[in-house]
Amino acid sequence: MQRFLLMLFFSLNCQAETTVIQAKAYLDVESGDWISPAVLVVADGVIQAINPEQRPAEHHLIDLGDRWLLPGLMDMHTHLDLDYNNGFGGIITNESASKGAIRATKNARLTLLAGFTTVRNVGQVHLTDELIGAALSEAEQAGWIEAPRIVPAGHMVSISGGHGDLTLGLHETLFEPQPKHGIVNGPADAIEAVRYQIKHGAKVIKIHATAGVMSLEDSVGAQQLSDEEMRTIVAEAQRHHLKVAAHAHGTEGIKAAIRAGVSSIEHGSLLDAEGIKMMKKHNVMLVPTTGLVDFVMDGIDQQNPKIAEKAKYVLPLAKENLAQAIQQGVKIALGTDSPLIPHGQNAHELSAMMAVGMSALQAIQSATIHPAELLGVTDRGQIKTGLLADLIAVNGDPLQDIKTLENVSFVMKGGQVYKNQTQGQ
- How much is the average pLDDT of 124-146? 95
* Cα angle value 230/212/278 (rounded, 5°): 50
What is the structure's pLDDT at 202?
98
Say if CB 67 and CB 393 are below 8 A apart.
Answer: yes
Query: Which whole number is the average pLDDT over 152-169?
Result: 85
pLDDT at 236 over 70: yes
Residues 277 and 388 in one domain: no
Same domain as 231, residue 271: yes
Q: Which residue has the higher pLDDT, 219 or 245?
A: 245
| Each residue's pLDDT tens digit, 254-268 | 999 999 999 999 999
In this prediction, residue 52 carries a pLDDT of: 96
**How many domains, in total, are found in the chain?**
2
267 lies in the same domain as 176: yes
Both 324 and 236 in one domain: the answer is yes
pLDDT of residue 28: 98
What average pLDDT does the chain have?
91
Give yes or no: residues 262 and 399 share one domain. Answer: no
166-185 average pLDDT score = 77
Residues 230 and 277 in one domain: yes
| Burial class, 415, CB count within 10 angstroms (exposed 0-12 / middle 13-18 / buried 19+) | buried
Please name which of 127, 155, 84, 162 lies closest in space to residue 337, comparing C-alpha atoms. 84
What is the pLDDT confidence band of residue 88, given thresholds at 50, 70 and 90? Answer: low
Note whether 303 and 416 are same-domain residues: no
Of 395, 396, 424, 420, which Cα lies nearest the Cα of 410?
Answer: 420
- What's the CA gap between 272 and 265, in Å, rounded? 13
> Do 54 and 173 sit in the same domain of this protein?
no
| Higher-scoring residue by pLDDT: 316, 50 | 50
The CATH number for 80's domain is 3.20.20.140
> Sign of dihedral through CA atoms 400, 369, 131, 144?
positive
Residues 46 and 161 in one domain: no
Give the whole-angstrom CA distance, residue 125 versus residue 155.
Answer: 8
Given a cut of 80, whether residue 138 has pLDDT beyond it is: yes
Q: How many residues does the chain have?
A: 425
pLDDT for the residue 301: 67
pLDDT reported for residue 25: 98
**Cβ proximity of 126 and 97 under 8 Å:** yes
For residue 14, the model assigns a pLDDT of 44
pLDDT recorded at residue 168: 65
Task: Give the domain extent around 359.
Answer: 73-375
Last residue of a domain, one of 353, 375, 397: 375
Percent of the chain topping pLDDT 70: 92
> 411: domain CATH number?
2.30.40.10
pLDDT band with cut points at 50, 70 and 90 for residue 7: very low
User: How high is the pLDDT of residue 287?
Assistant: 98
Q: What is the pLDDT of residue 285?
A: 98
The pLDDT of residue 210 is: 95
Cβ-in-10-Å burial (0-12, 13-18, 19+) of 143 comes to exposed
**pLDDT over 70 (residue 329):** yes
Query: Is 165 found in the same domain as 26?
Result: no
Q: Residue range 309-337: average pLDDT?
A: 93
* pLDDT for res 173: 56
Q: DSSP readout, 41-79?
A: EEETTEEEEES-SS--SS-EEEE-TT-EEEEPEEEEEE-
Average pLDDT over residues 90-117: 92
Rounded-to-integer distance, Cα 82 and Cα 204, Å: 19
At residue 219, the pLDDT reads 78
Nearest to 247 by CA among 301, 216, 205, 298: 205
According to the model, what pLDDT value does residue 65 have? Answer: 97
Q: Specify whether 198 is located in the same domain as 309.
A: yes
For residues 419 and 425, what is the distance between their CA atoms, to the nearest angstrom? Answer: 6
pLDDT at res. 16: 47
Give, in order, the Cα–Cα distances in Å from 136 to each of 76, 202, 340, 391. Answer: 16, 11, 20, 21
Task: Return the higher-pLDDT residue of 188 and 309.
Answer: 188
* 176 in the same domain as 162: yes
